[in-house]
Amino acid sequence: MKTGVGWGCVSLLLAVCGTYCLGDPSQQDTVVDNRFEFTQAEYVVAEDATNAVIPVRFYPGNRGLGGSVPYTTEDISATAGEDYTQVSGTLWFSGWGPHFLTVPIIWDDLDEADQTVLLRLIGGGWKTMVGPQATATLRITNVRPPLRLRLAPGARGCVIISWPDNGIACVPEQSANPLSGNWTTVTNATATASGRFFVTNTCSMPATFYRLRKP
């Protein structure tokens, strides 16, 4: 006589109900990609600034709240090495706060239009996605170079004061005390975009300060 014992199969179904929210660490799914993006479409920096500091936002897809994203810069109307320094690298995140990439700015003496640089986050890495703001523009605003007076000795105790041609007509002025705010126009000089004027100022005379004023 055979005795048979039958084994049944019991299935246990575990279900987790609720609404998934990427912004809630307690509900984060470890299979969700990390996401990175720029905080805005355009950033603006003055040409005479040392650096442009660009924030990048991080949306973690793992409970460890860590991730990384490569970045690079590319010319649009700006030229690397002349208007800015090209940079590329990787931003490493640990936590929710934004990280920053730094673009060095190069100032020059040219009076030119604003120039632009393309900022790019590079996706495609393991569990890494970028966007929707995966690229942004850095606009470098022009800063008109200051006028520089040049002094040179002339004949018979004259001092030759000149300035480079920048296409801007200016009025030469003088003052014995520039802190007083009292400036008078140099009478033997005319307003000109580029040129020189002569003043008699020997060592025995009081010191005189000169400046160029835009009319």
The pLDDT of residue 191 is: 46
What's the mean pLDDT in 165-172?
66
The pLDDT of residue 90 is: 94
Q: What is the strand order of the sheet 150-153 is part of?
A: 150-153, 158-163, 195-200
| DSSP label of 81 | T
pTM of the entire structure? 0.58
List of domains in the chain: 25-141 (2.60.40.2030), 150-213 (2.60.40)
Two tokens, residue 19: 């609404």
Two tokens, residue 30: 């470890």
The pLDDT of residue 169 is: 65
154: left (phi over 0), alpha (psi -120 to 50) or beta: beta
Question: 115-126, pLDDT tens digit by residue?
Answer: 999 999 998 777
Radius of gyration of the chain (CA): 33
